[in-house]
Amino acid sequence: MPRPDSETVVEAALGWVGDRDARLTVLDLGTGSGCLVLALLSELPRAFGVGVDISAAALEVARGNARALGLEGRVRFVRGDWGAGLRGPFQVIVANPPYIADGDLDALEPEVSAFEPRLALAGGADGLDGHRAVAPWLAGLLAPKGAVFLEIGAGQGPAVAAILRRHGMQHVETPCDLAGIPRCLVAIPKTRRKDRKKGLESGAIPATVDPR
């Protein structure tokens, strides 16, 4: 299940959805073990999910986790490069792209660096390459009343918000983790009024999930 950092993303998404009985679709970009989408589906019994990862090995783990949790009927794991080839709309998009700056990789705790592949961690020179790669897909895959929940590294909030703005999204909230560090960036399409009531309105139509 999600690491404490990622729990901020899950909690933020659940808080935004509000009604746990909502029928909606969740997209998890860079799903890894599937922890984000599976945690959400565990709490949202009428939701369906798609998890995307470029790593076939990660997808095998995710599928095994879905079976172990009895969620395999409500989730599909597909191999892909972020949003390429996906068709939305999704009401909830979560992503935890790699966000460790290359120069900081050597300083990671051995229990992280020894077990996580570089693909899952390395975010380029400034740590933001993953967010730059994910951002262009979001507005096109998001349902009109949907929201995006991105995990961020400490201090990355303003830079990630600026990246999102360049791709038609506006940042609306930055929930913190248990240590008080801003850990999740919540964003909606720029075209939507910021003061709009949060959450899905009743009767929201679930998307047709057609990942390929």
Ligand X SMILES: C[S@@+](CC[C@H](N)C(=O)[O-])C[C@H]1O[C@@H](n2cnc3c(N)ncnc32)[C@H](O)[C@@H]1O
169-173 and 25-29 beta bridge pairing:
unpaired
**CA geometry: angle 184, 188, 160, nearest 5 deg:** 45
- Name the token pair of 101: 């700056």
Please pick, from the candidates 31, 65, 91, 156, the single residue that binds ligand X as defined by CB under 6 A: 31
Q: With contacts defined by CB under 6 A, name the span among 48-56, 63-71, 141-149, 177-185 that binds ligand X.
A: 48-56
- Residue 120 engages ligand X in binding (rule: CB under 6 A): yes
Minimum gap (Å) between residue 62 Cβ and ligand X: 9
Q: Which of 132, 43, 54 is nearest to 92 (CA)?
A: 43
Q: With contacts defined by CB under 6 A, name the span among 94-102, 135-143, 173-181, 197-205 that binds ligand X.
A: 94-102
Q: Which of 75, 95, 90 is nearest to 24 (CA)?
A: 90
36 vs 169 by CB, closer to ligand X: 36
- Beta-carbon neighbour count of residue 101 at 10 Å? 17
Residues 137-176, one symbol each (x = binds ligand X by CB under 6 A, - = not), give: ----------------------------------------
199 vs 211 by CB, closer to ligand X: 211
